Structure 1
Amino acid sequence: MSKPLNRRQFLEGSGSAAAASLLAAGQASAQAPTALAAINQSFLFEGKTFDPALVVDAARILAQRPVVPLVATDLPDGYATLPFDLYSGIRAQPGALIWAGENRGFTVEPLHRGYVFSNPVSLFTIEDGTVRRVAFDRSKFDYGRVPPPPANADLQFSGMRIATGLERPFEVAMFQGATFFRSLARGQNFGALARALILRPGETRGEEIPFFRAFWIERPSPASGLLVIHALLDSESLTGALRMTLRPGDVTLIDVEMTLFARQVLDHIGFGCTMGTFLSGPQSRRGFDDVRPAVHEISGVQMRSGTGEWIYRPVSNPATLQVSSFMDSNPKGFGLVQRERDPAAFMDDDQRFELRPSVWMEPLGDWGAGSVQLIEIPSESDINDNVIMYWRPRQPLAAGSETSIAYRQAWCWQPPERPGLALATRMRQGRGSQGRRRRFLVDFTGDRLADAGTVAATRAHISTTPGQIHNIRLWPFPERKLMRVGFEVDPGTDSLCELRLVLQSGGQPVSETWLNRWTW
């Protein structure tokens, strides 16, 4: 019989000493599954002085052993199949929120397991430098219409919900399921979803889903305005340690520092991943019979290339899966953005899509060569996150390698850094004047389009690959700081065209570069 990991051995030291204890406990390959399962169940670092290096070392050691999948066999009968309305009724009691009543600017609500969130996650706090386990206690939950679990059950948690009490309190972030998390700025509704890591999305061999095993949350100082979270990540192909610093406000910032350890060669890995919903809009309706004129929480992809070019690409709900790659080196920023802020554009007083956040990624450090990847998935429902965006490095991660990456994530109304150029704010398309031609109207809005001299000298530079451009026309509206560009695309016999449009005046751009993929 294999011998389980001795937790005291592992906790005797810190940093590399802790790593050595774990290695010693799992030398024999037959012992590895028991040792790794013990990591998930053994109240890691509880009662000890916390050092972020401990999480990094735990990830390093985990990478030297096969992954032990999370299991959900301990859930009470029926919990894994709870309908959403019953599951959402299970909430922590107000007095059970972590740091409730301590005036620390944040409270943390442990989230119950159930519904699709069946995998166990361990939660710890770091108070006065010491690690303390957040113990599961059914008496701290209101179960609504769901029968409570047995009194002695230790179910751990599915994640956590974070609220800030700074000035005007609001719910600011949620970490739940795999490595999913979401946030928002003040005054917004939850919308787009982020992932700490994405592996092989859209591939025929199947996507690999990493997951969080544990979180360590540092108790915030009163009025500090920030919350620091550490996490241990695991997957079949790699492990990782994360440090996330959350700063909520009119723009909510999350700084992410991540160290990854590859078990295998990774030739398709994604950083800074964001997902969102686009069902229909003026640029892509696909014949939807919906009372709402538009249904989307994101409208497009914003990029700032390594050379400084500002690019915008509207997203769509295609008839077939679409994958686009935007090659770059050391990108300055990218993200999924919601540019439509007029409630009349949606006429949906329940979903309030105009209040959904834009998510902007600012790489920190040298990211090298790679591409911004955009995946657009056909969808018939407005609850599907059918648009995925992330950075894919050109160089694969070698087996046994250690990789560090960092970025700043802004959950905002618009990206914090603005281009100073006119933005593409509206787009329409429809039948052209003859044959298979398509007619496009693109609106650009910006202060520079209010200047009569600039407007008079402005020209639209439009190209398509393949196909031809016809009937270019500009309508200036300087009183509205707007320029409307109309043109037709003749695809010939092709069923896909890549379009590119930029406004220039005096040889210099006065607008961002607008890209679009048209498919028949």
Structure 2
Amino acid sequence: MPAINFARIAKAAAPLGMLLCLLPATAGAFGFDDVAARAKRLAATAYSKPVRTVSKSLASLDYDQYRDIRFDPARAHWRNARLPFELAFFHQGGSFDTPVRVHEINGKSVQEIRFDPKLFHYGANELHQKDLAGLGFAGFRVHHPLNTPKYKDEVLVFLGASYFRAVGKGQLYGLSARGLAIDTALSSGEEFPQFTEFWIERPGQNGKDLTIYALLNSPRATGAYRFTLRPGIDTVLDVKAQLYLRENVTTLGIAPLTSMYFFGENQRPATEDYRPEVHDSDGLAIQAGTGEWIWRPLVNPRRLLVTSFALTNPSGFGLMQRDRQFTSYEDLEARYEKRPSAWVEPKGQWGSGRIELIQIPTPDETNDNIVAFWVPDKAPKPGVPFDIEYRLLWQKDAEKRPPSAWAVQTRRGHGWVRKADDSIALSVDFEGPGLKKLSAEDKVDAVVSANDNGRILETNTMRNDATGGWRMTVKLRRNDVKKPVELRAYLNSNNNTLSETWSYILPPD
């Protein structure tokens, strides 16, 4: 890479400390209400597309070239102050061509953290001074001692549109969350709101949490967000949002989660692969307000598949990675068994609506093809504030599960093994403390139902002596192979429900 004369671009990117001194301070403490006021004013104006400031050289960087631009960890924000949290930043380039503004809140003052090319190493990229003039940050990440007190791990990232993701202790990045989803998977096209500006409160010397405010903007929506981060075994992110619509939307997705499911135990890969399973999440879990627990295993469908669960005041939902065995994945690099589950816990009464699950065909593991979110029955009217609060838990070792028993795997095969026919067999294993308490004399039945496109031929239950759980097998035949079959089942003993509801979609052929 040619040497860069930083002095020549000092006007566009002055030294960080100097800029912090030049920026004005506010008269009072900055908080959520200030961001909400900005969102309200923004919603009353016409939408303006964000200005993209990257040069052709930066915009044309491929995935590996962009990754070769690395933030200098020695320049991490707050490192010299020896605070419990540190900030690092992402450079603009590749698909991340839109700048975001980042501010630090320190008591009553608010100061912008400005882009400076001296904060980065550019690797083998051949960039010139003009490529680095007038840039901003593409996003940022938060570091905190998570796995050892001697090292600050990366625990939270905001990068691209309104995407963010976090990890807890012993976890590796997997699925993502978003601030808002609008018209996902509709033929009219999806709208991707963007976090355009952030304000981050300077933590105390012994601070255990970090507060981040964000302003969201898109053609049809604006919003104010407050994120309160508490890293730990389960990293917790408390989210408070106030949304404003500029105009009506068809599908307003609240607390959206985005993940990847390529293939797994219920769906073999289309081509040979040494790995038994490849996915960041293997199912959607729901805790209804009635107390019912629902588990829907994920699939990689041949065509777009959109399903939903109508609920009132849900207690929680999440895209989960229940399978934690390395031997289920055999991937020494991706380590899918360490990918977090993300659980959304509503605060207050969310009212009536639906949890929507969108499953999109993907030819490989590089695409996030799974989306889940809450859709309120009564969407806000344009200009009227819509308040929502929830907690996001990033989990691995103590994931949210029903108290008695849950499905741990779903396997698919032919109904007749020795002589294959057009029937389908599904084998579902359940585990949990409620099943371990059963005696050898207890009778366990499977209560199974299907929609009108499926005909149940046979059901069986048997104790799984290898795990201490129970296995349910279902043999069925599809009436129309071009339509899906929806199945529901749970374990029952003496009229007592033993397990969560296993809710499965058999996609059309």
TM-score between both structures, scaled by the size of structure 2 = 0.90
- 8 Å contact kept, 1:335–1:359: yes
* Aligned position for 1:330: 313
* Aligned position for 2:137: 157
Return the match for 1:267 from 244, 250, 260: 250
Displacement after TM superposition at 1:513 (Å): 0.7
1:250-329 pair list within 5 angstroms: 250-285=233-268, 287-329=270-312
3-state SS of paired residue (1:82): coil
Distance 2:440 2:99 in 1: 59
Instruction: Give the letter for the 1:143 counterpart.
Output: Y
* Aligned position for 1:468: 455
* Aligned position for 2:25: 47
Kindly provide the CA deviation profile for residues 362-414 of structure 1, in whole angstroms up to 9, marking residues without a partner as x. 01111111100000000011011001100011112212211110100000016
Change (3 A) 1:148 1:217: farther
Kindly provide the CA deviation profile for residues 29-50 of structure 1, in whole angstroms up to 9, marking residues without a partner as x. xxxxxxxxxxxxxx99942144
Return the match for 1:449 from 408, 418, 435: 435
Return the match for 1:491 from 478, 482, 489: 478
* Aligned position for 1:383: 366
3-state SS of paired residue (2:41): helix
- 8 Å contact kept, 1:450–1:479: no
Distance 1:439 1:222 in 2: 58
| Greater alpha carbon shift after TM alignment, 474-483 vs 102-111 | 474-483
Instruction: Give the letter for the 1:465 counterpart.
Output: N
Displacement after TM superposition at 1:436 (Å): 2.4
3-state SS of paired residue (2:137): coil
* Aligned position for 1:366: 349
- 8 Å contact kept, 2:275–2:331: yes
| Greater alpha carbon shift after TM alignment, 142-151 vs 204-213 | 142-151
Instruction: Give the letter for the 1:302 counterpart.
Output: A
Distance 1:147 1:227 in 2: 37
Distance 2:480 2:25 in 1: 69
Corresponding position: 1:503 with 2:491: yes
Distance 1:44 1:318 in 2: 55
Distance 1:418 1:121 in 2: 38
Distance 2:389 2:128 in 1: 40
1:31-46 pair list within 5 angstroms: 46=24
Kindly provide the CA deviation profile for residues 100-123 of structure 1, in whole angstroms up to 9, marking residues without a partner as x. 132221111021100111111001
Corresponding position: 1:79 with 2:58: yes
Corresponding position: 1:398 with 2:381: yes
Return the match for 1:59 from 39, 52, 64: 39
Distance 1:425 1:193 in 2: 23
Displacement after TM superposition at 1:225 (Å): 1.2
Instruction: Give the letter for the 2:276 counterpart.
Output: P
Instruction: Give the letter for the 1:296 counterpart.
Output: H
- 8 Å contact kept, 2:404–2:435: no
Distance 2:198 2:135 in 1: 15
| Greater alpha carbon shift after TM alignment, 156-165 vs 286-295 | 286-295
Displacement after TM superposition at 1:266 (Å): 2.5
Corresponding position: 1:341 with 2:319: no
* Aligned position for 1:425: 408
Distance 1:109 1:407 in 2: 26
Distance 2:24 2:258 in 1: 35
Change (3 A) 1:273 1:451: same
Corresponding position: 1:208 with 2:188: no
Q: Structure 1: where are the runs of 5+ without partners? A: 1-42
* Aligned position for 2:505: 517
3-state SS of paired residue (1:57): helix
- 8 Å contact kept, 2:103–2:110: yes
Corresponding position: 1:101 with 2:88: no
Change (3 A) 1:430 1:479: closer
Distance 2:228 2:271 in 1: 41
- 8 Å contact kept, 1:338–1:354: yes
Instruction: Give the letter for the 2:152 counterpart.
Output: P
Q: Say how many residue pairs are matched.
A: 477
* Aligned position for 1:31: none
* Aligned position for 1:249: 232
TM-score between both structures, scaled by the size of structure 1 = 0.88
Distance 1:261 1:391 in 2: 17
* Aligned position for 2:9: none
* Aligned position for 1:477: 464
- 8 Å contact kept, 2:50–2:98: yes
- 8 Å contact kept, 1:459–1:505: yes
Displacement after TM superposition at 1:286 (Å): 5.1
Distance 1:518 1:148 in 2: 51
- 8 Å contact kept, 1:286–1:317: no
- 8 Å contact kept, 2:444–2:461: no
Distance 1:291 1:473 in 2: 32
* Aligned position for 1:176: 159
3-state SS of paired residue (2:439): helix
* Aligned position for 2:115: 136
Q: Structure 2: where are the runs of 5+ without partners? A: 1-20
Q: Identity over the aligned pairs, expressed in percent?
A: 34
* Aligned position for 2:8: none
- 8 Å contact kept, 1:450–1:478: no
3-state SS of paired residue (1:61): helix
- 8 Å contact kept, 1:457–1:505: yes
* Aligned position for 1:6: none
* Aligned position for 1:39: none
Displacement after TM superposition at 1:258 (Å): 0.3
- 8 Å contact kept, 1:360–1:415: no
Kindly provide the CA deviation profile for residues 34-72 of structure 1, in whole angstroms up to 9, marking residues without a partner as x. xxxxxxxxx999421442222111111000101111121
Change (3 A) 1:148 1:477: same
Distance 2:276 2:208 in 1: 39
3-state SS of paired residue (2:294): strand
Instruction: Give the letter for the 2:42 counterpart.
Output: L
Displacement after TM superposition at 1:205 (Å): 0.6
3-state SS of paired residue (2:56): coil
- 8 Å contact kept, 1:449–1:455: no
3-state SS of paired residue (1:245): strand
Instruction: Give the letter for the 1:71 counterpart.
Output: V
* Aligned position for 2:334: 351
- 8 Å contact kept, 2:445–2:491: yes
Change (3 A) 1:308 1:242: same
Kindly provide the CA deviation profile for residues 123-154 of structure 1, in whole angstroms up to 9, marking residues without a partner as x. 10111231011011111211111245527823
3-state SS of paired residue (1:406): strand
Distance 2:212 2:471 in 1: 46
3-state SS of paired residue (2:129): coil
* Aligned position for 2:422: 436
Distance 1:379 1:203 in 2: 17
